[in-house]
Structure 1
Amino acid sequence: MSAEQIGFTLLYLGLFLLLGKWIRVRVKWTQNLFLPSSIIGGFLALLVGPQVLGKILGMFAGSDSLLNNGLIPPQVTEVWGTLPGLMINVVFASLFLGTTIPGIKKIWRLAGAQLSFGWTMGWGQYVLGILLAVLVLSPLFGLPPMTGALIEIAFEGGHGTAAGMGETFKDLGFEEAYDLSIGLATVGLISGVVAGIILINWGVRRNKTQVIKNVEGFSDLRKRGIMEFQNREPAANMTVRTESIEPLSLHFALVGLAVLVGYLILQFLIWLESVTWGAMTGSEFMTYIPLFPLAMIGGIIVQLIFSKLDQNHILDRPMISRIQGFALDILVVTAIGTISLDVIGNHIIPFLLLAALGITWNIFGVLVLAPRIIPTYWFERAMGDFGQSMGVTATGLLLMRVVDPKNDSPAFESFGYKQLVFEPLLGGGLVTSLSVPLIFEFGPIPFLIISAVMCLLGLLMGLLYFGKKKS
Structure 2
Amino acid sequence: MFPTDAVSGSAVTALLFAVTVLGLLILAGVVLRLLIAPLRRLFIPAALVGGILGAALGPYGAGLFPDTMVTTWASLPGVLITVVFAPMLIGVRIPSLKKSYGLVAPQLLFGYMGDFLMIGVPMLVCAALLVPFWDVSAMFGTVIEIGWPGGHGTAAGMGPVFSDLGWAEGGPLSLAAATAGLLFGIIAGMVLINIGARRGHVAAAAGRSGDTPEVLPEESRSPLGRITLNKDLLDGLAFHGTLIAAAILIGWVLQSLIQRFVPGMPLFPMAMIGGLAVQAVIGRTRLGGAVDPGSLRAVQGAALDLLVVSAVASITVPVVVRNIVPLTVLVTAAAATAVFFFYWAGPRMFRDSWFEMSIVNFGTQTAVASVGLMLLRAADPELKTDAARAYALRAPFISPVIGGGLLTALLPTLALTYGPWVLGGGALVAAAALYVLARALRIWKSPGTRSEVTLRA
Write out per-residue CA displacement over residues 161-215 of structure 1, whole angstroms, 9 at most, x where no aligned residue.
x3664764466563653564244123212212213433565x57xxxx7999x97
- Segments of structure 1 that go 5 or more residues without pairing to the other structure are 54-69, 155-161, 274-284, 402-406
Task: Report the counterpart of residue 300 of structure 1 in structure 2.
Answer: 276
Pick from 375, 395, 402 the counterpart of residue 423 of structure 1. Answer: 395
Pick from 18, 23, 26 the counterpart of residue 14 of structure 1. Answer: 23
Work out the CA distance in 1 between the residues paired with 2:286 and 2:403.
32
Q: Which stretch of structure 1 is more off in the superposition, 42-51 or 431-440?
A: 431-440
Work out the CA distance in 2 between the residues paired with 1:79 and 1:168.
18
1:211–1:237 CA distance, 2 compared to 1 (3 A): closer
Write out per-residue CA displacement over residues 286-312 of structure 1, whole angstroms, 9 at most, x where no aligned residue.
2x4433333333333333333344653
Task: Report the counterpart of residue 82 of structure 1 in structure 2.
Answer: 75
**Secondary structure, aligned partner of 1:72:** coil
Task: Report the counterpart of residue 307 of structure 2 in structure 1.
Answer: 331
**Secondary structure, aligned partner of 1:423:** helix
Maintained 8 Å contact 1:115/1:418 = no
Maintained 8 Å contact 2:51/2:313 = yes
Q: Displacement, 1:266?
A: 2.6
TM-score by length of 2: 0.74
**Secondary structure, aligned partner of 2:311:** helix
Work out the CA distance in 1 between the residues paired with 2:337 and 2:217.
37
Whichever residue aligns with residue 79 of structure 1, its letter is T
TM-score by length of 1: 0.73
Work out the CA distance in 1 between the residues paired with 2:161 and 2:217.
48
Maintained 8 Å contact 1:133/1:145 = yes
Maintained 8 Å contact 1:248/1:319 = yes
Maintained 8 Å contact 1:262/1:291 = yes
Question: Is 1:185 equivalent to 2:182 in the alignment?
Answer: yes
**Secondary structure, aligned partner of 1:312:** helix
Maintained 8 Å contact 2:119/2:424 = yes
Question: Is 1:248 equivalent to 2:237 in the alignment?
Answer: yes
Maintained 8 Å contact 2:270/2:396 = no
Whichever residue aligns with residue 10 of structure 1, its letter is V
Work out the CA distance in 2 between the residues paired with 1:425 and 1:291.
13
Q: Displacement, 1:326?
A: 1.8
Output the aligned Cα RMSD. 4.0
Q: Map of 1:283-432 to 2, 5 A cutoff?
A: 286=263, 288-309=264-285, 312-349=288-325, 351-370=327-346, 372-373=348-349, 381-382=354-355, 384-386=357-359, 388-390=361-363, 391-396=371-376, 398-399=378-379, 413=385, 415=387, 418-419=390-391, 421-426=393-398, 431-432=402-403
Pick from 227, 239, 242 the counterpart of residue 228 of structure 2. Answer: 239
Task: Report the counterpart of residue 366 of structure 2 in structure 1.
Answer: none
Task: Report the counterpart of residue 453 of structure 2 in structure 1.
Answer: none
Q: Which stretch of structure 1 is more off in the superposition, 437-446 or 354-363?
A: 437-446
Work out the CA distance in 1 between the residues paired with 2:235 and 2:152.
30
Maintained 8 Å contact 2:180/2:331 = no
Q: How many positions carry a matched residue from both structures?
A: 415
Q: Percentage identity across aligned positions?
A: 21
Write out per-residue CA displacement over residues 303-356 of structure 1, whole angstroms, 9 at most, x where no aligned residue.
333334465322322222222222222222222222211111114345544543
Work out the CA distance in 2 between the residues paired with 1:256 and 1:179.
35
1:132–1:216 CA distance, 2 compared to 1 (3 A): same
Task: Report the counterpart of residue 144 of structure 2 in structure 1.
Answer: 148
Work out the CA distance in 2 between the residues paired with 1:350 and 1:103.
49
Q: Displacement, 1:39?
A: 1.4
- Segments of structure 2 that go 5 or more residues without pairing to the other structure are 1-7, 163-170, 364-370, 450-457
1:200–1:457 CA distance, 2 compared to 1 (3 A): farther
Maintained 8 Å contact 2:248/2:274 = yes
Maintained 8 Å contact 2:255/2:267 = yes
Q: Map of 1:268-279 to 2, 5 A cutoff?
A: 268-270=257-259, 272=260
**Secondary structure, aligned partner of 1:432:** coil
Work out the CA distance in 2 between the residues paired with 1:25 and 1:111.
38
1:257–1:453 CA distance, 2 compared to 1 (3 A): farther
Whichever residue aligns with residue 190 of structure 2, its letter is V
Q: Which stretch of structure 1 is more off in the superposition, 241-250 or 37-46?
A: 241-250
Q: Displacement, 1:19?
A: 1.0
Pick from 411, 431, 436 the counterpart of residue 408 of structure 2. Answer: 436
**Secondary structure, aligned partner of 1:153:** coil
Q: Map of 1:201-240 to 2, 5 A cutoff?
A: 201=198, 203=199, 216-218=207-209, 220-221=211-212, 224=214, 226-240=215-229
